[in-house]
Structure 1
Amino acid sequence: MKKLRFKLYKPVAIIALAAGILGLNACTKNFEEYNTDNTGLTEDDLKADFNYIGGFFPQIQSSIYFNFNNTTADYQLQQNLMGDVYSGYMMPPNNFRGNVNNMTYSLVDGWNAAPFNLAYNNVMAPIYEVRRRGAAVSAPEFWAIALILKVEAMHRVTDIYGPIPYSSYGSGGTTSSYDKQEDVYNRFFKELDTAVTTLNTYVTQHPGVSLFAKFDMLYGGDYKQWIKFANSLRLRLAVRISGVAAAKAQAEAEKALNPANGGVMEITKDNANVSGFGLKNPLFTIVTAWTDNAMNASMESFLVGYNDPRLPKYFDHATAYPGKYKGIRIGSLVEAKPAYNGYSVPATAETKTFKATTPLQLMTAAEVWFLRAEAALNGWGNAGGTPGELYEKGMRASFSQWDADPVAVNNYVADNTAKPIDYVDPRNAANNHVAMTNITIKWDDAATKAAKMERIITQKWIAIYPEGQEAWSEYRRTGYPKLFPVVTNYSNGTINTDIQIRRIPFPSTEYTSNKAEVEKAIKLLGPGAADNGGVRLWWDIPH
């Protein structure tokens, strides 16, 4: 295990203190050595206006959907070449490593380590430092927000790998023990309990006061909005485990939806988006400067098939095929650039949805309405309506978020004929595939529960774009939407082409520095499990 070092510095006119973290191994728990602040400020100097703990939060917030210090290459590995592709959202027009890469299920270890190392070095380590500096006592509202951000960041990590080091993180020693995923989730719920209780108490006792405002990249210091985010996050996690821990899932969902606890996201203003402090949207760079991103064929099938009014907000027309939207199927053996550069890309040229300044989306009100629709479908309390009513509210919330025409919304939710289309690759017929489903849009109370679930998840999938990591998790949990399978599977039989990829293996650095613990972690995946991409996580049960 290597030691992490904090470097405290003072960017001009932006923030009085921020934390940069150096180090290669993400599980490090030896924090006894720290660099001094090169501004000459002491910890006592910074306590007056809470910079001594608040200064860590810009790094934490911009390291979830990773682009801390605008290191776009890290984001590309953490998110864009994993969740964004496996979710059916995107596919690079780049034949990285001669097409022997994550898109063809030949999982690249150097890529696989990115979500693990980035989260521990840039989220867990600074949160540990916030705790070490006594935030839980001296600034409990700061600590509450740290816990919310911790859960938001680390549920993404456990949903990539399965067991992760969590409960013992920061306890000292030279190894990091892994928790099974069920225990990690249970700890998430407890941490959200602490956060919501703390913030509700603070808001009652200090109405209108927010010392966190100048560090806040999501809500400008509005603690009531943070409470809604925490409750919405609890609902997301509750629904995630509904297939494997139904009673626990229902209890946590009903707690999240209990109005007495502060409410959940309902309108666009509630959305959790990260911006400010010079943060740039990495998709803009990847698309416009690197030409490394394009529409996935599954997105084309659904959005074009549904004549979805959001399509121009999501993607640009294909320059190689004027007037058309054209995606690339996952696992296609793409030729070297610029062969596929004329396919549709995330909207940077026409509607300019994705600019350098576009906030990074963590969670939206639309997602929450769809979560509520599923809660109602499960018969849980506090959902606030019937499944059909909540399903329609989810679509309307998404259209509102993307500034769609109200008339278009009405036509869309009433459409009972439009269906996903077959995929045709004009460059290579070997990539063609018939549509995976004939599911329509309009709610049908007479449909089977499976059809109702498919509608809910399909529309949620469309609505939460471009957050591919969450979309991939929901695909694994439910099997919806029905995505095109990988064209070329180089996994040597470890990943089933039809079932598709279920997780990412642990980084090789864990085998060299934490071997005994990572071997225990593999056993926590289940009897006879191996560390490969075909093994299901705890909440990912066959459907």
Structure 2
Amino acid sequence: MKKLRFKLYKPVAIIALAAGILGLNACTKNFEQYNTDNTGLTEEELKPDFNNIGGFFPQIQSSIYFNFNNTTADYQLQQNLIGDVYSGYMMPPNNFRGNINNMTYSLVDDWNGSAFALAYNNVMAPIYEVRRRGAAVSAPEFWAIALILKVEAMHRVTDIYGPIPYSSYGTGGTTSAYDKQEDVYTRFFKELDTAVTSLNTYMTQHPGVSLFSKFDMLYGGDYKQWVKFANSLRLRLAVRISGVAPAKAQAEAEKALNPANGGVMEITRDNANISGFGLKHPLFTIIASWTDNAMNASMESFLVGYNDPRLPKYFDHAKAYPGTYKGIRIGSLVEAKPAYNGYSVPAYAENKTFKATTPLQVMTAAEVWFLRAEAALNGWNNAGGTPGELYEKGMRASFSQWDADPLAVNNYVADNTSKPIDYVDPRAAANNHAAMTNITIKWDEGADKKTKLERIITQKWIAIYPEGQEAWSEFRRTGYPKLFPVVNNYSNNTINTDIQIRRINFPAAEYTSNKAEVLKAIQLLGPGAQDNGGVRLWWDIPH
């Protein structure tokens, strides 16, 4: 049995009490023993001001999008070469592995196990240790935040793979059973219940007190903001399951939107962003130093077609084609660098959106307004307005977040003529494709429900950039926005080009260390399911 080692921080002076990462081949093992290297400070000596448990939180928070210790390559594998690509946000100008890679649906296991391993090693393991040290009793407000972070991190994992080890984690033994995704989501909602109740109770009993502030990379110790985040996260997950479990979805959404529970995100200040403790935004390195990222053709189609004022904040102009924005279509047979390096890249040189010091975006008020718009479209209570009103508030919240001109947003929401444009690749005509939709921006109350949903999701997709994992999940759930299909599909007929990729297969290391449970997990995907990228998750029903 491997012993887990952690990086534990003591505020003011950062003191490393432990280092190292548990290998992927043990990341779903259950754990009998946890330890840290002794460098002179015992757990007892760290207990004042809760340093013995609070010291784990920088690792947990900076591992949601993994850049713990600024190991950018891990983020590239966990997020950038999965969600960011499949969401239609980005496309590398790099012919990794001779174009036999994720972008052409030839899934690379050495890449795709990272999201699994990083979450268990750097989120689940330290949270387990926080629990082992008694936080649920001695510091319930710390434990509440741990639960919120756990749900945020692990819903990303289950939305990549499907079934995951969750309820059995840390219960002893040498293997971990996988839970079906429905059961994982049920636990998410229960954990958010505990978190919100604990924080609201703590604030009532200890007004103005926040011992978590010196460990907090999101809200500086503001528990009211954590409650809003938890409620907003509940709403996101509720809407996610609305197609497969409508009654449960409605109940959870109405709970999230009930003002008595503490509210949801509404303004830019409420946004969940991670920063501090020396954390750097990995996209800056990937773009500026590695030249491994570019605009996706789908983003060009929508943002250029809509004359979107946020476009210069999202991407730089294409150096090879001055005065234009130019993306790369997923699955293009990209030539070796620097062939496509002159295409648009996420904005780092012109408006400098992505700097080393830019916080990492987790969730925004704009997303929540669009979730509320969909809730109203579904006829759920507590949404706080009509679908059209909430849809417009989502756009306005996004423009506010990106410091756009108020006049620009007025013109934007009233635009009923601009449409996505065709894609033309000046280097390879084989990559050209007609626009996938003619959806306009302005709300049309007379449109059918399907068209209204397309508007809501399309604008939400634009607003939550650059969070590609969430955008990919929403594309799979709804079919919107309508993204360009892959040019070259090397999946050996396991992924349908038009339906597009639905999940990532379980890591090869799990077949080595936990094979019996992985084989059971495949059956949890559905009758006759295979472990490949063409299989739909529980909430991903055909539309």
Cα separation, 2, equivalents of 1:345 and 1:4: 39
Look up the SS of the partner of 1:9 in the other structure.
coil
| Cα displacement string for residues 23-55 of structure 1 (whole angstroms, at most 9, x for unaligned residues) | 333534444444444430111101011010000
Measured after TM superposition, the shift of residue 331 of structure 1 is 0.2
Cα separation, 1, equivalents of 2:114 and 2:399: 33
Measured after TM superposition, the shift of residue 3 of structure 1 is 4.2
The answer as to whether partners of 1:9 and 1:37 remain within 8 angstroms in 2 is: no
Cα separation, 1, equivalents of 2:12 and 2:261: 39
The answer as to whether partners of 2:9 and 2:58 remain within 8 angstroms in 1 is: no
| Cα displacement string for residues 228-251 of structure 1 (whole angstroms, at most 9, x for unaligned residues) | 000000000000000000000000
Look up the SS of the partner of 2:21 in the other structure.
strand
Question: Unaligned 5+ residue runs, structure 2?
Answer: none
The answer as to whether partners of 1:257 and 1:382 remain within 8 angstroms in 2 is: yes
Name the TM-score, length of structure 2 as normaliser.
0.98
| Cα displacement string for residues 210-258 of structure 1 (whole angstroms, at most 9, x for unaligned residues) | 0000000000000000000000000000000000000000000000000
Look up the SS of the partner of 1:97 in the other structure.
helix
Decide which moves more: 298-307 or 28-37.
Answer: 28-37
Look up the SS of the partner of 2:26 in the other structure.
coil
The answer as to whether partners of 2:30 and 2:169 remain within 8 angstroms in 1 is: no
The answer as to whether partners of 2:156 and 2:469 remain within 8 angstroms in 1 is: yes
Correspondence for 1:497:
497
Cα separation, 2, equivalents of 1:26 and 1:150: 19
| Cα displacement string for residues 313-365 of structure 1 (whole angstroms, at most 9, x for unaligned residues) | 00000000000000000000000000000000000000000000000000000
Look up the SS of the partner of 2:457 in the other structure.
helix
Cα separation, 1, equivalents of 2:69 and 2:37: 18
| Cα displacement string for residues 473-499 of structure 1 (whole angstroms, at most 9, x for unaligned residues) | 000000000000000000000000000
The answer as to whether partners of 2:7 and 2:56 remain within 8 angstroms in 1 is: no
Cα separation, 1, equivalents of 2:302 and 2:365: 22
Cα separation, 2, equivalents of 1:529 and 1:182: 16
Question: Unaligned 5+ residue runs, structure 1?
Answer: none
Q: CA distance change for structure 1 residues 15 and 405 in 2, over 3 Å: closer, same or farther?
A: farther
| Cα displacement string for residues 368-393 of structure 1 (whole angstroms, at most 9, x for unaligned residues) | 00000000000000000000000000
Cα separation, 2, equivalents of 1:319 and 1:38: 52
The answer as to whether partners of 1:294 and 1:346 remain within 8 angstroms in 2 is: yes
Measured after TM superposition, the shift of residue 20 of structure 1 is 5.2
Cα separation, 1, equivalents of 2:103 and 2:290: 18
| Cα displacement string for residues 112-143 of structure 1 (whole angstroms, at most 9, x for unaligned residues) | 10000000000000000000000000000000
Cα separation, 2, equivalents of 1:293 and 1:411: 31
The answer as to whether partners of 1:7 and 1:21 remain within 8 angstroms in 2 is: no
Measured after TM superposition, the shift of residue 14 of structure 1 is 4.0
Cα separation, 2, equivalents of 1:342 and 1:97: 21
Look up the SS of the partner of 2:361 in the other structure.
strand
Measured after TM superposition, the shift of residue 16 of structure 1 is 8.0
The answer as to whether partners of 1:20 and 1:59 remain within 8 angstroms in 2 is: no
Correspondence for 1:311:
311
Q: CA distance change for structure 1 residues 445 and 258 in 2, over 3 Å: closer, same or farther?
A: same
Q: CA distance change for structure 1 residues 26 and 215 in 2, over 3 Å: closer, same or farther?
A: farther
| Cα displacement string for residues 256-309 of structure 1 (whole angstroms, at most 9, x for unaligned residues) | 000000000000000000000000000000000000000000000000000000
Look up the SS of the partner of 2:300 in the other structure.
helix
CA RMSD of aligned residues (A): 1.3
Q: CA distance change for structure 1 residues 7 and 365 in 2, over 3 Å: closer, same or farther?
A: closer
Identity of aligned residues (%): 91
Measured after TM superposition, the shift of residue 172 of structure 1 is 0.8
Measured after TM superposition, the shift of residue 65 of structure 1 is 1.1
Correspondence for 2:444:
444
Q: CA distance change for structure 1 residues 212 and 20 in 2, over 3 Å: closer, same or farther?
A: farther
Look up the SS of the partner of 2:8 in the other structure.
strand
Look up the SS of the partner of 1:361 in the other structure.
strand
Cα separation, 2, equivalents of 1:15 and 1:7: 9
Measured after TM superposition, the shift of residue 62 of structure 1 is 0.2
Correspondence for 2:23:
23
Measured after TM superposition, the shift of residue 163 of structure 1 is 0.2
Measured after TM superposition, the shift of residue 21 of structure 1 is 3.7
Q: CA distance change for structure 1 residues 486 and 2 in 2, over 3 Å: closer, same or farther?
A: farther
Look up the SS of the partner of 1:6 in the other structure.
coil
| Cα displacement string for residues 487-513 of structure 1 (whole angstroms, at most 9, x for unaligned residues) | 000000000000000000000011011
Look up the SS of the partner of 2:20 in the other structure.
strand
Cα separation, 2, equivalents of 1:380 and 1:337: 50
Correspondence for 2:393:
393
The answer as to whether partners of 2:18 and 2:36 remain within 8 angstroms in 1 is: no
The answer as to whether partners of 1:3 and 1:28 remain within 8 angstroms in 2 is: no
Q: Does 1:280 align with 2:286?
A: no
Cα separation, 2, equivalents of 1:414 and 1:178: 48
| Cα displacement string for residues 455-484 of structure 1 (whole angstroms, at most 9, x for unaligned residues) | 000000000000000000000000000000
Cα separation, 2, equivalents of 1:214 and 1:19: 21
Q: CA distance change for structure 1 residues 114 and 335 in 2, over 3 Å: closer, same or farther?
A: same
Cα separation, 1, equivalents of 2:2 and 2:521: 20
Cα separation, 2, equivalents of 1:161 and 1:518: 11
The answer as to whether partners of 1:9 and 1:19 remain within 8 angstroms in 2 is: no
Look up the SS of the partner of 1:277 in the other structure.
coil
Correspondence for 1:342:
342
Name the TM-score, length of structure 1 as normaliser.
0.98
Cα separation, 2, equivalents of 1:464 and 1:435: 21
Measured after TM superposition, the shift of residue 6 of structure 1 is 3.5
Measured after TM superposition, the shift of residue 2 of structure 1 is 4.4
| Cα displacement string for residues 367-425 of structure 1 (whole angstroms, at most 9, x for unaligned residues) | 00000000000000000000000000000000000000000000000000000000000
Q: CA distance change for structure 1 residues 193 and 256 in 2, over 3 Å: closer, same or farther?
A: same
The answer as to whether partners of 1:158 and 1:164 remain within 8 angstroms in 2 is: yes
Measured after TM superposition, the shift of residue 4 of structure 1 is 2.7
**Matched residue count:** 543
Correspondence for 1:128:
128
Cα separation, 1, equivalents of 2:140 and 2:315: 42
